[in-house]
Amino acid sequence: MRAAGGSTDAGRLARAGVGGPRYGAQVIADGTFQVSAFDPVTVGVEQVATALGVGVATMVKEFAGAVEGRSTTLFTSAFDPDAGVGTYVAMESFEGALDGVGGTFNFVHAASTSGTDRVDLLFTIVPSSGTGGLAGLTGGGSMRVDDDGTHRVRFEYELPEGTS
């Protein structure tokens, strides 16, 4: 139900601390990461043949900076390595700390490329996946690779008030 002034009753109650946690200001945590393992996985069902082969792999990443820790990743792609064209989807399980606040959580990211670009980026923290000091974590972020090959990650997140 929408209340006068365009806000919903539920939204007004949540901001007042009724019916759920109150959230603090959005925080940004920047870090770098390195892939320490990339292992292709055999898929046990016959694949449908398309113009781009589909692959599945597991990854391990090590993070440094305001994002400190490691993640395990399920990585799926439809990609032509010769042309550099395709799309990937990755689900990561992170353990470590954001700005010194420890815990675990999941995040998902995806993007497409036509060979020289990176478009349609999706980067979302999975709701209700946080534990420890990161319980209640919400938000999103981004990833990029610098010209020198440095991999960067940014989390734009909120935690319930009274945590951290």
Classified as helix, coil or strand, 135 is coil
Q: Of 54, 127, 46, 141, which Cα lies nearest the Cα of 98?
A: 141
Pairing outcome for strands 151-158 and 138-145: antiparallel
At the topology level, CATH places domain 24-158 in: AOC barrel-like (2.40.350)
Three-state SS for 91?
strand
C-alpha 130/C-alpha 139 separation (Å) is: 11
Beta bridge partner(s), residue 80:
85
Rounded Cα gap, residues 33 and 98, in angstroms: 13
Residue 8: pLDDT above 60?
A: no
In this predicted model, what pLDDT tens digit does every residue of 62-75 receive, in sequence order?
A: 999 999 999 999 99
Q: In sequence order, what are the beta bridge partners of 94? A: 71, 105
What value does the mean pLDDT of the chain take?
87
Distance CA 108, CA 75 (A): 10
pTM: predicted TM-score of the whole model, two decimal places: 0.82
Helix (H, G, I), strand (E, B) or coil at 89: strand
pLDDT of 27 above 90 = yes
**Sign of the torsion formed by the C-alpha atoms of 40, 124, 144 and 135:** negative
List pLDDT tens digits, range 128-164: 999 999 999 999 999 998 999 999 999 999 999 876 5
Residue 50 gets which letter from DSSP?
-
Q: b/e for 32-52, b at 16 or more Cβ within 10 A?
A: ebeeeeeeeeeeeeeeeeeee
